[in-house]
Amino acid sequence: MCFAIDKVHDREKTRKQIRTPLAPKHGRNWLGHREKTQAAMIDYMLITGASIGEMARMVRASKARVRNHLYHLEDEHGLTFTVEGDRRRFADDLR
């Protein structure tokens, strides 16, 4: 779970991460998710885009787990997605 989430700040940090990837700080990615966790891996896959099935296979989780993380990103971080076919990526307004 993330602490002290600021949706506006998270949107700006995501925009920067898409344009110029930054290394994790203190073992956490730009959204505060611990590196090498399913959450962090899904975050990174959303930069270039992937289907829910692809994300589930890559992180060795269920599709429900991936969907729950996507809901978390929308609800708690204020992030949105572009859907093309079955692929999802961070929304164009973040690019």
Report pTM: 0.92
Provide the domain count of the chain.
Answer: 1
pLDDT of residue 24: 94
Residue 53 forms part of a structural domain: yes
pLDDT in tens, 33-91: 999 999 999 999 999 999 999 999 999 999 999 999 999 999 999 999 999 999 999 99
- DSSP line for the chain: --SS--HHHHHHHHHHHHHS----BTTB-TTSPBTTSHHHHHHHHHHH-EEHHHHHHHHT--HHHHHHHHHHHHHHH---EEEETTEEEE-GGG-
Residue 33 forms part of a structural domain: yes
Output the domain CATH number for residue 19. 1.10.10.10
Residue 87 CA to residue 83 CA, distance in Å, equals 6
pLDDT at 3 over 60: no
Range of the domain at 36: 7-94
Coil/strand/helix, residue 25: strand
Residue 36 forms part of a structural domain: yes
Residue 2 forms part of a structural domain: no
